Every structure is written in C-alpha cells, then in structure tokens.
Amino acid sequence: MTNATLRQCDDGSVTLRQLLVASEIYPLAKTGGLADVCGALPKAIARLGIDVRLMMPAYPEALARLVAPRHIADLACLLPGVSVRVVEGSMPDSGLRIWLVDCPELFDRPGTPYQDPNGCEWEDNALRFGVLCHAAAWVALGRAIPGWRADVVHAHDWHAGLVPLLLQLLSDHSRPRTVFTVHNAAFQGNFPLDQASQLGLPKELLIPDGIEFYGRFSFLKAGVRYADKVTTVSPTYAKEICTPEFGFGMEGVFQARCTNLVGILNGIDAERWDPGTDPYLSHNYSGNDLTGKQGCKADTQKRLRLNVDASAPLAVFISRLTQQKMADVLLDRLPGMMTRHPRLQFALHGRGEPALEAGFSNMVARYPGRMSVQVGYDEARAHCLHAAGDILLHGSRFEPCGLAQMYAMRYGTVPVVRRVGGLADSVRDPGMHDRLGRGQTGFIFDDATGDAMGSALSRCVATYETQPRRWSELRKLDMACDFGWARSAAAYACIYGELAGKQISSLVAERGAPQSANAPSHKQGRNAGL
C-alpha cells in the first residue's frame, strides 16, 4: 500500500489517475510498433475505468492532427533556457485527453521524431527527450495542470526513461508510482556524460550504480533501475533480455531487476485492424467468407504489376529494412527462394538501411510479374498488403513482440517467423513431424540463417500448394485468434493497482494477471491451449 491518492467516486469505487508518456502515439505520430501500442493500450486501460492521460512531444504532425488544441500551461525554465508550453487536446480516434509538450526549437522540425531528413539522429536528442521527461514529471507531480496529479506514470522506451528517476529526485515517498516498459533493448538512449548536467542530472548518479553505462549515461538504464516496476512486451523477451545474446550489454541491469520484471504480450487494436471494416481495403471480409480477401489479392497484384493469379502464393514483407528484421538475410536468399518456388510472388513494403532498400529495388527487374518492392512508409499500403498476402515473412534476429504477425493472422495471412521474443509467444507451429499440424497458426524456424528461413518458407509454400484443406484450417485458426488488448490491459492495470493501492488491484485482479518473466514462455503465449 502506498501513499498514492486515489479518487473516491460517488458510488464508493476508486479511480486511478495514470499518465502515459511516450515519444510516439498513433495516430498523432508513428514510426513503428511503439506508436501502435501507445495508441491502443490506453483505450483498453480507459475501458477498465482508469483515468488515463497521454503525453508526447508536439511534433508538427501531432499538433496538426490533435482535436481541439488549447494552450493550458507554461512550464517556464523547466531546464535552464528551456521553456515549454503544454497544449491539451483530444485524440482523433478515441477522444482520450492528451498533453503535447510544445517547444518549437526542439520539436518543430522536418524528418522523423528521431532523425533529420537525411536519416541522421538529431544531435540534441538527449535534450529533446530530457525535456519530455521533465515536463512529464512536473505534470505527474501536479505542478503543471491545476487539479490533476498522477497516481501512476507509465513511461515507454528510452525516450521516457528519465521519468522514474526524476520523480525520485523531485519528490518524496508520496510521489506517483512508476512503470517502465522496454519495447526494444537495442535502443538505449546513451549520451556523453558531459550532457547530463544540462538535463539537471546530478554528478553523483554518473556511476555504474547509477545511470552511467560504458562511459556514457543511459536513459534506458535510468528507466530500468529507478522504475517501481519494469515490463517488456512479451514473456519470452523478458527472459531473453537477461542474457548476453539479447541484452545489448544491459543484461546485468535487467538481471538486477528480475524480481520486478514481467513480460506482457502486446495486443493489437482489433477495431483499427479488422478486415471486416478496414477502410483501407478495396474489399472487406471475414473468416466465414474470404471472397473479399481474394478481391484484395487480385487488386493488389494488378496495382503492383504482379501476374493476376489467384492460385500463386503471394508472400509479403512489411517492415523496417534492418538487421533486426533479418532483411539482409532475406535479400541474400530471396533469389534462391524465387527459383525453388517458380509460382511464388513476393511483395515488399518498407524502408530502412539504404543498402537494403537499393538491394531489394535492384532485384525487381529479374522477376517480371513476380516481385514488387515499394520503398517508403505508408499506413494504407501496409494494411492492403496484410490483406492481400497469403504468407507473411517475418524473420527477426530479435523481436521484443512484433505486431505484424498478429495483424497478418487477423487478416488470414499465415506468418513464417523465427522463434524469438513475441513471435514465439504469438505463433504456434507443432513442426514438420506433426503431419496433422493440429493447432498450427504459422511456420517457425529456429536459427537466424538463410537456410532456416528458406526451409520454413518452403514448408509453408508446400502446404499452400499441396494441402488446400489444411491451409484453409490454418488460416481459419489464425483469423480466430484473439489478439485484442483486453487481457494484457488487465495485466497492466493489475500492476498499476498493486503499485497504487489495494482497492484498485482487487478491481482488476479478476480480469487477468501479469505473466512472470521467469515463467515458462510460449506455453503461456496467446495461443496456449489451441
């Protein structure tokens, strides 16, 4: 039991006030899955009766999309020479209240939230996200918005990693409690030590037992060390990050928090990603009638100049083009796969490392009518490809959760994935020795090699081409999987409740309990029991 103040409602129940802090939240800003999660999770949290408010930087696109913006507070001299305005508005989809940290000299820039238009990280990223963290701490402590103070702050990824530490520095034991979620341990927000003082971080913290990390200071380490509870986005990844293979040097920091580290599988926004209603699709469809899916495939083949052939297996790859996603391995092995499976079609939509973008683009001319490569970032196209594909290729060297495989399954597109992180927790493959393949939802490979990826794809294509009945059962099972947020949101709410007070925990406990980082992994995954 903590001193967090819980608001008593007229009927005697208790409301918990939660502030979610992140660098990107869909639909205001998005570069990847972080935005999807921070857009969808709070909607599910609000459904549990929690008073959730959101906070992120006021990028130009976020200000433009905000509904009913109004300037509600000034945080003058948040840090020496930095003044910030807080702009309040509503989320365009859910109507949830959001506060944008408006500081034009830091956030009103072209490019992505993290990089300039040439793909270079902004040099002042420590200051930019340090300001987000300071503003969030002030709001959470009730020093910025009259009448509102947080009971729990949920900070996401390194950009919000200083919030738990700042709350400890700025307040006493009555401070709001903190949850820090690691979406990707490869991105750590490590900066030169001489930038720490500019962020108001005391010198005494720049030691290994503080936030120093290999001669720099680390936002991610700050979040992991100082949050009351640390979570990550799948049970398997929670175990993986405690090992040198997946910890990116931070494994010792995670191990030190292992009793307070849990993995909760991400959900998906099942309303936004619904083939029955998705406005981006040329045809809508459901598991009971896949005619619309065939229409989506034909339209996409036409648009992408692929042979319009309903029976050709269409494999899609919709992802950042990076080493994490094994895009380099795919580039190397794709010609072999196209030769081995002469009817296979391949469509890629993604952007990332320039050499990979060029490598894939240069390959297209060798496979007329069979290959399409679209370099870019486009939400509508991502939805259309998920619907049009038969197979989603999703190899990953590491994958904290991965959302693409869940979107694909919901759209009846069978995933081929590596057995890591959230992929292992969300896809089920009894293996090639189980001829009946009962309960199978995809094809999994173990090694991060082209051979392993290639043979899983071959198993998948062979099933598609020679076992139509089994393929249709597989697809049906995929479409029936429930990847909605309800269960995982309840697990988060349960954590908020534990941190903020008993009454809240008893309210949400019955709706779901978090999975321990040390519990066996994919047996507990979303598909357990299929």
Binding site for ligand ADP (CB under 6 A): 32-33, 36, 318-320, 349-351, 377-379, 382, 401-404
403 forms part of the interface with ligand GLC (CB under 6 A): yes
Closest to ligand ADP by CB, 323 or 449:
323
Is the distance from CB of 113 to CB of 187 less than 8 angstroms? no
The answer to whether 367 touches 390, Cβ cutoff 8 Å, is no
- Total site size for ligand GLC, rule CB under 6 A: 14
* 221 or 351: CB nearest ligand ADP: 351
Q: Does 48 bind ligand GLC (CB under 6 A)?
A: no
Binding test (CB under 6 A) with ligand GLC, winner from 263, 395, 402, 525: 402
* Residue 412 binds which entry of ligand ADP, ligand GLC, none, CB below 5-8 Å type-dependent: none
Say which residues have a Cβ less than 8 Å from residue 467's Cβ, sequence separation at least 6. none
- State which of residues 5, 15, 27, 32 lies at the interface with ligand GLC (CB under 6 A): 32
Residue pair 410/479 in contact (Cβ under 8 Å)? The answer is: yes
By C-beta, is 159 or 351 nearer to ligand ADP? 351
Q: Which of 88-96, 249-257, 329-337, 394-402 is the region at the interface with ligand GLC (rule: CB under 6 A)?
A: 394-402
Among 22, 84, 211, 401, binds ligand GLC (CB under 6 A): 401
184 binds ligand GLC (CB under 6 A): yes
Preceding amide of 208 cis, omega within 30: no
Rounded Cα gap, residues 417 and 420, in angstroms: 8
**Applying CB under 6 A, does 235 fall inside the site for ligand GLC?**
no
319 binds, among ligand GLC, ligand ADP, none (CB under 5 to 8 A by kind): ligand ADP
Within 312-428, where are the H helices? 327-340, 354-363, 379-388, 404-410, 421-426
- For 209-268, the three-class secondary structure string (H helix, E strand, C coil) is CCCEECCEEEHHHHHHHHCCEEEECCHHHHHHCCCHHHHCCCHHHHHHCHHHEEECCCCC
**Considering the complex, what minimum distance in angstroms separates the CB of residue 221 from ligand ADP?**
21
Of 211 and 268, CB closest to ligand ADP: 268
**According to CB under 6 A, which one of 24, 399, 425, 478 is a site residue for ligand GLC?**
399
Burial class (CB in 10 A: 0-12, 13-18, 19+), 68: exposed
Q: Which entry of ligand GLC, ligand ADP, none binds 351, CB below 5 to 8 A by partner kind?
A: ligand ADP
| Closer residue to ligand GLC in complex, CB, 32/249 | 32
Contact flag: residue 34 with ligand GLC (CB under 6 A): yes
Ramachandran angles phi, psi of 520, nearest 5° = -55, 140
Q: Measured from the CB of residue 247, what is the shortest distance to ligand GLC in angstroms? A: 15
**65 exposed, middle or buried (CB, 10 Å; 0-12, 13-18, 19+)?**
middle
Instruction: Indicate the residue whose CB is closest to ligand GLC.
Output: 33
- 203 touches 391 (CB < 8 A): no
Q: Which is nearer to ligand GLC, 32 or 142 (CB)?
A: 32
For helices 379-388 and 291-303, the axis angle rounded to 10 degrees is 120
What is the nearest approach in angstroms of ligand GLC to the Cβ of residue 356? 17
- Minimum gap (Å) between residue 157 Cβ and ligand GLC: 8
Cβ atoms of 265 and 426 within 8 Å: the answer is yes
Which residue is closest to ligand ADP by CB?
Answer: 33
C-beta atoms surrounding 67 within 10 Å: 11
Question: Which is it for strands 314-321 and 391-394: parallel, antiparallel or unpaired?
Answer: parallel
Torsion over CA: 346, 347, 350, 353 (sign): positive
From the list ligand GLC, ligand ADP, none, which binds 233 (C-beta under 5 to 8 Å, kind-based)?
A: ligand GLC
CA–CA dist 478, 427 (Å, integer): 9
Q: Taking the complex as a whole, how short is the minimal distance between the CB of residue 521 and ligand ADP, in angstroms?
A: 18
Pairing of strands 414-418, 371-375: unpaired
The phi and psi torsions of 267 (rounded to 5 degrees) equal: -105, -175
Q: CB 246 → ligand ADP: shortest distance, Å?
A: 14
CB of 181 to ligand GLC, least distance (A): 8
Stretch that binds ligand GLC, among 127-135, 193-201, 400-408, 471-479 (CB under 6 A): 400-408
**Stretch 245-274 residues interacting with ligand GLC (CB under 6 A):** 266
Query: Using CB under 6 A as the criterion, which residues of the chain lie in contact with ligand GLC when the complex forms?
Result: 32-34, 37, 183-184, 233, 266, 399-403, 422
